[in-house]
Chain A
Amino acid sequence: MFIFDTLSLVFVALILLGSIPNIFYSTGYLPHIKRKMHYQIHYFAFIGSMLGVVVSANALLFLFFWEIMSLSSWQLILTEVEDKSTIKAARFYFLMTHFGFVFLLLFFLIVSDGNLELGFSAMQLIASKFAYPSLLFFFLLLGFLSKAGVVPLHVWLPYAHPAAPSPVSALMSGVMLKVAIYGMLRFLLDVLYPWPLEWGIVILSLGALSSLVGVLYALSEHDIKALLANHSIENIGIILIGFGMGMIFDTLHLEVLSSFAFIAALFHTFNHMSFKSLLFMSAGAVLHQTHTKNMEKYGGLIKAMPVTAFAFLIAAISISALPPSNGFLSEWMIFQSLLSSSHMENISLKLAIPFAIFALAMTGGLAIACFVKAYGITFLGLHRSTNAKHATEVNFLMKSGMVLMAGVVLSLMLFTPFYIEWFDKVFVSLGRVSVYAKIFPDGVWHMHSVGMHGGMVSPLVLLLSLLAITALMLFAYRLFGVKTRVHKTWACGYTSSAKSQYSATGFAGPIRRFFNWLYRPDEHFDKESVAGHETKFSSSHYEVHVQPLFERVFYQSIAKLTNTISYWVYRLAHFEKTRYAAMIFNIMLLVLFSYRLFSHEFSWALAVFEILVMMTSVKILIIGDKK
């Protein structure tokens, strides 16, 4: 029934680390929620079902918990329905999870031969006999990656995660997405093993694409939770880059590198859980106090909400992959495994990997920009609305949730060797090479890359030296006894007010303009100019909305197609109100003719003839003449 190997336990730990601080936070958040009972039931069912997914040992239970997970999270999104957009988001979310479920179901049905109570090892036997393993791979991919929010199945994520109450967003983004990663690990390593090279490349390119797309759309968001949700897409992309590299190395028989890349991916999974939960919690705290998700209405909250601001800062540093944070370490590991591609023999692959490096590096740079924006606009400067002005720090429980989660972030940073040793065991238990001794050959101080060029990082040394030098300077500054005077902002002599400071839209302006070809933003600019001057105006209004390209191109056209088909089907179906006898006549004709044709003796001429007869008959008897 249940499985408790190291992989499962690691993910149980991940879920617990992600949800225990969250429970504190959620309890603190509870007074804000009207339907408490509904919320609590689904909240705990959600956590329970995630735990259930990672410990189930057969397809039936796995799918059961998987659906319960989707169901409860869907209901959680609907906890606070304030406007139509929430309803739409919830619907879209549920459709997408169901879409993923369809593929998962097919995957399981194929690999379990109809016996859904089969264990995973028995599945491997069946899967290896299946003639089209790539089909299985794509089913798996579509199933899990639609949950994880990988491009192009990511569109729901920036709608659904912000719509949920903040503790739930933290859980969904921080923890639920990881359950999908668990699925990938479990079924790719356990069931679909040996892989062809292409699979790794597919995952790698999907990862690279989603990391870039995620961060680009994050930058264009003004809704703080949607921004964070877009960052989840990016981070899942980063995880997949590590994952894909692991798969590629494995097929090329570079076992050590493969384990290293997988550990990197798993480490980043943990890190993302920690900092994304923390970010959503603090964003939720801000939202709780200001009653808006719009970043343009924030500002200066660091003074009123120091704990929240500090938590957000830690998480922001970590997600921007700045040393010596845990986010930096995992991204470093992923970079190292990408750089190790120079060990490969395959020249075209070798040449292609720098593009992934490029994507990852670009993502890193843009993430920094994005979090400077998020932090700076939210917590620094002047308040941009009255709500922001009167905001106060959140209650103790919410604070303690954030502090606990910050503790998780810090623990991942401080005890990296311990975690890596544990992750190493996961892959050893799945039949990989152990690389812990290679990563930490001489104690916990230095972390080595396992590649030939010997990249190295010493997180603790870095941390200590940074702290020491900063402390030293601060001490010197205090010793100096510098006189300080508080005065209004100089700003070249202009008066500065809440309106004159940079807005979130403005901050992202240069980048948005540079990526205009991708964003194709919907811009609204009205100004009332004075006396026909181009540059002098009494009032102006600028608004910009970016609708994801994929949504426009892909999803809306599918929706349109569905609508069209249903329209024609509906019209056709209405013939049966008056022409039922003709319909029965035709179906009889069709069935009997086909029967005679296919079961007795088949000939193409007759098949064509049948089609002609059917067309004529339908035209004459059902559709009739135009009046």
Chain B
Amino acid sequence: MMLALLLAPALFMFLVSFLHNEKSKYLLAFSSFVILLPIIKLFTLVKPYAILGTYLVADKLDTYVLLVSSIVGIGVTLALLTLDKHVKVSPKANRRFYRFFAIFWIGLIFSILSNHMGIYWIGLELATLSTVYMIKTNYTPAAHKEAWNYMIVGAIAVSLILFGIILMYASAKPILGEDAMQFDLLLQHAKEIPSPFLFEMGFAIATIGMFIKMGFFPMNLWLANIERASFYPVAALFSGILESAVVVGFFRFSQIAMEVNYDHLFIFVFIYTILTIFIVSFLIFRAKDFMRLFSLSGVEHMALIVMFWVSGAPFAALLHFGAHAFLKPALFLSTGVLESNGKYKIAGALRGYKGKRGTIFWFLVSLFLLAIISLPPSPMFFSELYGFGAMISTAKESDHMLAMIGAVLFLLILLSIIFYRFVSIYQSMKYEGETESKEVYPSELFALILFALSLVALMLPDTLHYLKSVI
């Protein structure tokens, strides 16, 4: 029943997208908004709540992620309403976009809510493939090329995840049989897995797949290039929703891996993420346009989330995840306006807004920009405090305390480079260059306000309490 409710808006959207009607644009947007309703219903239910046997189970973690994703979805839909004002997009492309958006949602709901590695993978693959076409809605050679790129790299990454899943399944099959694909069972019996080596190898391969998908080392630039080539709502979808599906998978796999061998997991992920942040921070140092900048910073934040999670600070990871999921799409959506005078015009991008709408717009964008580098009172400030705190506690318990503290210091210095770059870009947006007038449309403003409110909601004591109770 719940499943039907969850899928209904998406299916409806899929069907409406075949209608050749002027009104269908609004109908599509409406159906996209409606997705939130069953999710809110799901949110209020007692957890864990079995939606489809043992295959789809809603617990606190995945409902949170789904809720965040659906809010992002609404924001993206809002921005889509006025997409044609900023860029050339035909109604046909718009309808197609929604068609794949519907498939995307279906895949996403499956993968986020799944309690089964196989289902998780199927959903993820569905979501990945459907985004390929979304990239191509932008009819440019660059977009075409990047769509291919995404298709192939994404396919490799997703295949690697499946490969890992099968290895993990193989390692647990002797004790669990066909049920070895269920996350909760695996978690319970993780200690009994007869060949931890096989499991860890599978985990490593799957993690590589997921990390590639999130743009970690060594594939740091591909997401940025894709997001640059596609329309900004697609970029927002990528950073806000698709990444969440991947990261949920990582949360689940790593929970099991923590049980199997925490040290191996920690060292592996720690080194991997530090490498990633090293590369990304220097790439950000050179970024010359908004899209690449934001997308690289998205990679950085994903790395931080992953790091916090494995350091034993799920609260920090989830808070950071929520904050990032709201902030990054908001910034991506605002690039539509920011770049209205040219793609590489950073200087003066925050100037030239008239009227109340304009003032609110630039004010919100400045806030978001400063929040993304975790200045208080951004939720990221607190999540980073807690996350690094957990990291230091782990360091203090380990045998290599000084090396670990050194690594954290190194990490913080790398983050300072990113900080520097963002500050300099913010200043340049606000105080340099010429003032050219830019138009802001209400729908975009609504999207930004929605994200801002969600961020505030994230900081409410109740939310924090909820997040603390997730694990």
Q: Does B140 touch A at the CB level, under 8 Å?
A: no
Q: Is the interface of A mostly helix, strand, loop or mixed?
A: helix
Q: Does A574 touch B at the CB level, under 8 Å?
A: yes
Q: How large is the interface on B (under 10, 10 to 19, 20 to 34, 35 or more residues)?
A: 35 or more
With a cutoff of 8 Å between Cβ atoms, the chain B residues found around residue A595 in the complex are: 200-201, 204, 264, 268
With a cutoff of 8 Å between Cβ atoms, the chain B residues found around residue A487 in the complex are: none
Q: Does B18 touch A at the CB level, under 8 Å?
A: no
Q: Does B335 touch A at the CB level, under 8 Å?
A: no
With a cutoff of 8 Å between Cβ atoms, the chain A residues found around residue B222 in the complex are: 576-577, 580
The answer to whether B388 and A105 touch across the interface, beta carbons within 8 angstroms, is: yes
A573 to B296, CA, bound (A): 12
A67 to B373, CA, bound (A): 12
Interface string of A567-600 (1 = CB under 8 A from B): 1011011101100110110111001100100111
**Which residues of chain A (60-80) have a CB below 8 Å from chain B?**
60, 63-64, 67-68, 71, 74, 78
**Which residues of chain B (253-292) have a CB below 8 Å from chain A?**
261, 264, 267-268, 278-279, 282-283, 285-286
Select the stretch in A94-102, A303-311, A334-342 that faces chain B.
A94-102
Q: Given contacts A64-B376, A91-B427, are A114 and B219 in contact (CB under 8 A)? A: no
Interface core residue of A106, A132, A570, A587 (most chain B CB under 10 Å): A587
The answer to whether A584 and B200 touch across the interface, beta carbons within 8 angstroms, is: no
Q: Does B54 touch A at the CB level, under 8 Å?
A: no
Q: Does A113 touch B at the CB level, under 8 Å?
A: yes
CB distance from A64 to the nearest CB of B (A): 5
**Which residues of chain B (408-424) have a CB below 8 Å from chain A?**
408-409, 412-413, 415-417, 419-420, 423-424
Q: Which residue in A68, A78, A109, A567 is a CB contact (below 8 Å) of B392?
A: A109
Q: Does B111 touch A at the CB level, under 8 Å?
A: no
The answer to whether B375 and A67 touch across the interface, beta carbons within 8 angstroms, is: yes
Q: Does A131 touch B at the CB level, under 8 Å?
A: yes
Q: Given contacts A64-B376, A67-B381, A91-B427, are A110 and B208 in contact (CB under 8 A)? A: no
Q: Does B205 touch A at the CB level, under 8 Å?
A: yes
Q: Does B193 touch A at the CB level, under 8 Å?
A: no
The answer to whether A114 and B283 touch across the interface, beta carbons within 8 angstroms, is: no
CB distance from B226 to the nearest CB of A (A): 11
Q: Given contacts A64-B376, A91-B420, A114-B390, are A570 and B218 in contact (CB under 8 A)? A: no
The answer to whether B219 and A580 touch across the interface, beta carbons within 8 angstroms, is: yes
Q: Given contacts A71-B376, A105-B385, are A584 and B219 in contact (CB under 8 A)? A: yes
Q: Does B466 touch A at the CB level, under 8 Å?
A: no
With a cutoff of 8 Å between Cβ atoms, the chain B residues found around residue A586 in the complex are: 218
Q: Does B362 touch A at the CB level, under 8 Å?
A: no
CB distance from A119 to the nearest CB of B (A): 16
Q: Which residue in A60, A84, A91, A587 is a CB contact (below 8 Å) of B218?
A: A587
Q: Given contacts A78-B431, A91-B420, A595-B204, are A580 and B385 in contact (CB under 8 A)? A: no
Q: Does B170 touch A at the CB level, under 8 Å?
A: no
The answer to whether B217 and A587 touch across the interface, beta carbons within 8 angstroms, is: yes
**Which residues of chain A (577-627) have a CB below 8 Å from chain B?**
577, 580-581, 583-584, 586-588, 591-592, 595, 598-600
With a cutoff of 8 Å between Cβ atoms, the chain A residues found around residue B13 in the complex are: none
The answer to whether B218 and A576 touch across the interface, beta carbons within 8 angstroms, is: yes
With a cutoff of 8 Å between Cβ atoms, the chain B residues found around residue A22 in the complex are: none
With a cutoff of 8 Å between Cβ atoms, the chain A residues found around residue B392 in the complex are: 106, 109-110, 114
With a cutoff of 8 Å between Cβ atoms, the chain B residues found around residue A572 in the complex are: 279
Q: Does B386 touch A at the CB level, under 8 Å?
A: yes
A150 to B261, CA, bound (A): 46
A486 to B136, CA, bound (A): 87
Q: Does A191 touch B at the CB level, under 8 Å?
A: no
The answer to whether A95 and B431 touch across the interface, beta carbons within 8 angstroms, is: no
Q: Does B465 touch A at the CB level, under 8 Å?
A: no
With a cutoff of 8 Å between Cβ atoms, the chain B residues found around residue A68 in the complex are: 376-377
CB distance from A104 to the nearest CB of B (A): 11
A580 to B417, CA, bound (A): 26
The answer to whether A110 and B396 touch across the interface, beta carbons within 8 angstroms, is: yes
With a cutoff of 8 Å between Cβ atoms, the chain B residues found around residue A94 in the complex are: 419-420, 423
CB distance from B461 to the nearest CB of A (A): 14
Q: Does A531 touch B at the CB level, under 8 Å?
A: no
Q: Does A173 touch B at the CB level, under 8 Å?
A: no
With a cutoff of 8 Å between Cβ atoms, the chain B residues found around residue A591 in the complex are: 204-205, 208, 268
The answer to whether A566 and B286 touch across the interface, beta carbons within 8 angstroms, is: yes
The answer to whether B219 and A576 touch across the interface, beta carbons within 8 angstroms, is: yes
Q: Given contacts A106-B405, A110-B392, A584-B156, are A600 and B197 in contact (CB under 8 A)? A: yes
The answer to whether B389 and A576 touch across the interface, beta carbons within 8 angstroms, is: no
The answer to whether A573 and B283 touch across the interface, beta carbons within 8 angstroms, is: yes
The answer to whether B283 and A580 touch across the interface, beta carbons within 8 angstroms, is: no
Q: Does A125 touch B at the CB level, under 8 Å?
A: no
The answer to whether A135 and B390 touch across the interface, beta carbons within 8 angstroms, is: no
Q: Does A489 touch B at the CB level, under 8 Å?
A: no
A584 to B152, CA, bound (A): 12
The answer to whether B389 and A99 touch across the interface, beta carbons within 8 angstroms, is: no
Q: Which residue in A135, A580, A588 is a CB contact (below 8 Å) of B153?
A: A580
A598 to B266, CA, bound (A): 13
Nearest residue, chain A, Cβ from B218: A583
Q: Does B393 touch A at the CB level, under 8 Å?
A: yes
A591 to B149, CA, bound (A): 24
A132 to B201, CA, bound (A): 37
With a cutoff of 8 Å between Cβ atoms, the chain B residues found around residue A109 in the complex are: 385, 388-389, 391-392
Q: Does B93 touch A at the CB level, under 8 Å?
A: no
CB distance from A117 to the nearest CB of B (A): 11
CB distance from B418 to the nearest CB of A (A): 10
The answer to whether A95 and B420 touch across the interface, beta carbons within 8 angstroms, is: yes
A528 to B427, CA, bound (A): 43
With a cutoff of 8 Å between Cβ atoms, the chain A residues found around residue B212 in the complex are: 584, 587
Q: Which residue in A84, A115, A569 is a CB contact (below 8 Å) of B279?
A: A569
With a cutoff of 8 Å between Cβ atoms, the chain B residues found around residue A74 in the complex are: 423
7 contacts between A and B (CB under 8 A): A84-B432, A91-B420, A94-B420, A105-B388, A586-B218, A588-B160, A595-B264
Knowing that A87-B427, A90-B427 touch, tell me 19 more A-B residue pairs with CB under 8 angstroms.
Answer: A71-B375, A78-B430, A87-B431, A91-B423, A95-B416, A95-B419, A95-B420, A99-B413, A106-B409, A114-B390, A114-B393, A566-B286, A572-B279, A573-B218, A576-B221, A586-B218, A587-B212, A599-B200, A599-B261
- The interface of chain A, by Cβ under 8 A from chain B, is 60, 63-64, 67-68, 71, 74, 78, 81, 84, 86-87, 90-91, 94-95, 98-99, 102, 105-106, 109-110, 112-116, 130-132, 135, 562, 565-567, 569-570, 572-574, 576-577, 580-581, 583-584, 586-588, 591-592, 595, 598-600
